[in-house]
Chains A and B, each alone.
Chain A
Amino acid sequence: MTYTPVIELKNVTFKYKNCDKFALENVNFQVAQGDFVLLVGYSGSGKSTLLKTLNGLIPHFYSGLFGGDVKLFGESIAEKKTAQLAKTIGFVFQNPENQLSALTVEREIAFPLENFAIPRQEIRRRVNEIIALLDLEKIQDKSPFAISGGEQQLTAIGSALALDPPILVFDEITSHLSPQSATKIIKKIAELNREQGKTVILSEHRLDRNLQYVTKIAYIESGQLKAFGPPREVLHNKNYPLELYPRITSLYEQLKKVTDNFAILPEKHRKQLLAVPEPLTIDDFLLFIKGGRESV
């Protein structure tokens, strides 16, 4: 059975104009339908650049040298305009305020539909649908500049969803938000992934509470994709710095070190503990502790 990956990057390379370093170097990966991809990397490693190749902002909006091919649903997007791709890929940016411009939240959500000359009745229906989906009823008539950062990002998400694109891309959307707002929004995104089958790519610094939704991690360093695969697989990979692991994994590794790989425990327990998969989330960790307490 062959399947067409929803997103495919082949040898994608990019160098910004007037820059000596490559922002992206020979990036290859494939994303399947329904995947929830977490993009991680140090600041300046090329995360934003990578995301922007997905809807053509790179190379059309930024001057520089572009090489390689980006395919969405098997079709190359090299000749397509970013605006045309809005139906396929919804993009939400980091700064909530700088991506909104309409008079009210409602009109912001209608904006992409208007751009594609959707008939008014249909726009009205779709906008109401999205407002209900994202619980924006209370603020639908407010100005996008009179609401909180979290609400602004929700509005941006609503707008990106308007055309019902199968792919959603989020470029560090929680960095301007408080922890509680951030968690709420990522939960919402996970819902969209789970219940509507949206393929999601999210770049994010905060891992600890989000790893539970992730199906693939992509680790990028200095413009190169150093690791890509299911979370546990990637986190095993030597190329992935411990510092970027979720806190929980880091604690686990430290625990292992301090107990000499559990050697200080009786053999039975040691075997048992090593059999438990490496914890990535809080629940995993609890399982691990349980594993150390129950008899074989």
Chain B
Amino acid sequence: MIEFRDVYFRYAKKNPDVLKGISFKITDGELVALVGKNGAGKTTLLKHIIGLLKPTKGEVWINNENIIKKPISELAQTVGLAFQNPNHQLFAETVEKELAFGPKNLGMPEEEQERMVQKIAENFNITHLLQKSPLELSGGERRLVSIASVLTMGQKILVLDEPTFGQDYRQKKRLGTYLCDLRNKGITVFIVTHDIDFILDYFPRVIVLVDGQIIADGESKTILQDELLIQQADLEKPILLEIQEKVAKMTNQEYLPATSEVEFIEKFKDILLQAASQEGKK
């Protein structure tokens, strides 16, 4: 469980506040996405979860404990954080060693390490990359490896900074499906992203951060339809919603959008059938 209680943060006395009174609660097994303009404070917020930064005011509670006094090494056992740029993490000789680095630091027994590495590699379809040097991989592959190397640590809370950055559709789908899977195991996933389609597909809850403050926190379906919010968070309207909005305008019908692909297909099948039957009646 992650809880922020009225958190304020600034980098130095003379600097303005980057976080201005952040409060929210995420329970176990939730999938939450954090969106907002670049510079709104998203990465700063993430750093508080693993204790890299401490609030100037307010408190951060993880699993019912105030983490203010906890060292990062201890928090790393509970919270896994993967940064945005994989090149800031990758250093090992082989991908296998890279994936094992985190578990090793946590003191996992060797067989357990191997098991985790194999499991994650299979899940992400990167078994064929295990013996390669991370520096040989393409951008998207590196990203996958950097996320995987945090997943092998097996924490109960997973925090990812722009996980879909540089990924093609295939990789994103695999990642999204895997993350969804995790919630069944009670693992909390919290991501920062700009990828609105990714959010709609896999993340039921979204928090909107603008200028260091939370201006919305709730169901993705609802929030991502709000034009003003999307504009403020520097996002783009999801394709599914944009299509339906335009169709509704064109057919003079009410705008009640389907928010998943399956619903969308059903809805449009009905639209076509309806149009045909109306024609027939004439």
Contacts and interface: CB of A to CB of B under 8 A. Distances in A.
Q: Do A and B come from one complex?
A: yes
Contacts of B279: 266, 268-269, 293, 295
Contact of B272 (A273, A282, A295): A273
A230 interface: no
Contact of A180 (B197, B235, B275): B235
Contacts of A175: 139, 165-166
Given A180-B235, A266-B280, A43 B250 contact: no
Interface in A24-72: 42-44
A289 B239 contact: no
A202 B170 CA distance: 20
A264 interface: yes
Interface in B95-137: 136-137
B272 A269 contact: yes
Interface residues of B, number: 46
Nearest to B39: A148
A137 interface: no
B177 to A, nearest CB: 13
B168 A43 contact: yes
Contact of B166 (A43, A244, A254, A255): A43
A243 B171 CA distance: 10
Interface string A221-264: 00000000000000000000101100110010011001100101
B276 A251 contact: no
A158 interface: no
A179 B268 contact: no
Contact of A293 (B138, B235, B243, B275): B275
Interface in B56-102: none
A265 B170 CA distance: 33
A77 to B, nearest CB: 25
B37 interface: yes
B146 to A, nearest CB: 14
Interface string B222-248: 000000000000111001101100110
Nearest to A40: B168
A254 B268 CA distance: 11
Interface string A173-203: 0011011110100000000000000000000
Contact of A258 (B141, B194, B265): B265
B271 A289 contact: yes
Contacts of B136: 19
Interface in B246-282: 246-247, 250-251, 261, 264-266, 268-269, 271-273, 275-276, 279-280, 282
A178 B37 contact: yes
A103 interface: no
Given A43-B171, A178-B38, A178-B234, A289 B140 contact: no
A269 B166 contact: no
A247 B247 CA distance: 16
Contacts of A292: 271-272, 275-276
Given A178-B37, A179-B235, A289 B141 contact: no
A149 interface: yes
22 contacts: A43-B141, A43-B167, A43-B171, A44-B141, A148-B39, A172-B166, A175-B165, A179-B236, A183-B236, A251-B261, A255-B269, A258-B266, A258-B269, A259-B272, A266-B276, A268-B279, A269-B276, A286-B247, A289-B271, A289-B272, A292-B275, A293-B275
Given A43-B166, A264-B269, A292-B272, 5 more contacts: A42-B140, A178-B235, A243-B169, A243-B173, A269-B279
